[in-house]
Chain A
């Protein structure tokens, strides 16, 4: 491993990958230094989730590869927490916030190991850290979207993850919950954590994120959001998906 890779939280090199035969990525190069907040944007089907899933080894690359802290995704697994999209989680399942947070320890356990008293203590501390200790014994399905995200972040912290990968964490949150989540990202950054999210919300990028990656099967744009995001770039990134008004006054979608 070279030094640059070991210093970075994420290094993606010439990655090509496909997921369920729909989303495809080709020739992706990207690097996220430790302690940075990074956002992946792009149209639906542009490969945002595929890239994130590749980082935890759930999608196997067809070519190229990914290094996390200079290691393979599999070997770096314990240092990385993946927070799934809300729709992938069974919110009807009867489980308390504290029990969810303790799952952060399950990743470190053998199949037959049960949670210990110190796991529980550690989990409660992390719930306090995200301001959710009052909800420890509430069913997680009863919480609001923003509160659920906090519980999942507490789970990642309980795992002692240094890199948090979050698939669409802002989806379904109201404005104040989104701002609380962004504050929490800043807090994570100040403790040396690296956060990579996928998002549809372009408004908060410049203010809160160090890096942005615009993805539409290949890299359209990459760099600090203030430097690289312009109307021109966004039009290019989302061009297929923006409604356009023709001179005749008709609204159409680009192909």
Chain B
């Protein structure tokens, strides 16, 4: 059994993949908890889609992929704030128009590069098995940056998330803090795309945090257990990928989903026991 678990990680590419996805699990736990609690999943998905065209553009002009994707992600994140204030229609409608348009633009860009067809699936589904050491540094940097920003602004962040109107009345910079949160979401998505790809990136943000929310009504324990569930999902997912020869992005997300389903069963069984026991 131990052999079964440890053997795959004797390969350097597997241990790099584990290091990368483990850091992404930590990052996703910190940010995903807020995404779940504040109902920002759809905005997260929009950011992932526009990041894709950022990646495409970065490939085309030969600039750093993370920088290209991050620029597009941030423009989307801040565009959302602008849309919510000024749009004459529901902001989710406006957002859907914008991000599907941006995504199509990215697809067309990539199709102008004839040699690129092979990598398209890597962008859509992730290519964590090919992750390089330099990319691990980027991810680690994002983890440290996000953790520091959250630690420093924690009390203000919690106040604004719980009671934005009261916080504004108390003189807190509510809009700036909300944009900072969207900026952190954008960063988390951009560095996670490498691992699980554009289509599945939102699952990594949402599923572990949602699983954690089944068990606790306290914010910090929720983040901690989201990290725990995330780490389980990436480890199990990588093993599944190794033994089933399936794309790791998909197996990681599937592992997270199965964890959620099991947790849901456990928590509702526990609730029934408490009621009748």
- Give A contacts to B, CB under 8 Å: 53, 56-58, 74, 77, 80-85, 88-90, 92-96, 99-100, 102-103, 106-107, 109, 111-115, 139, 141-142, 152, 159, 165
Contact = CB atoms under 8 A, between A and B. Distances in A.
Nearest to A161: B170
* A83, A94, A99, A106 pick with most chain B CB within 10 angstroms: A94
Interface residues of B, number: 28
Given A56-B169, A58-B169, A82-B170, A106 B217 contact: no
A165 B166 CA distance: 11
* B166, B168, B213, B217 pick with most chain A CB within 10 angstroms: B166
B168 A58 contact: yes
A114 B154 contact: yes
A94 B216 contact: yes
23 contacts: A53-B169, A57-B169, A81-B170, A82-B165, A82-B170, A84-B166, A88-B163, A88-B164, A89-B165, A92-B37, A93-B161, A93-B219, A95-B162, A95-B219, A99-B158, A100-B163, A102-B155, A103-B159, A106-B172, A113-B155, A139-B217, A141-B217, A159-B170
Contacts, number: 91
Contact of B163 (A80, A90, A96, A109): A90
A103 B217 contact: no
* A82, A93, A114, A139 pick with most chain B CB within 10 angstroms: A93
B121 to A, nearest CB: 38
Interface in B138-160: 152-156, 158-159
B62 interface: no
B118 interface: no
B158 A111 contact: no
Nearest to B154: A114
Contacts of B277: none
Nearest to B163: A89
A96 B213 CA distance: 15
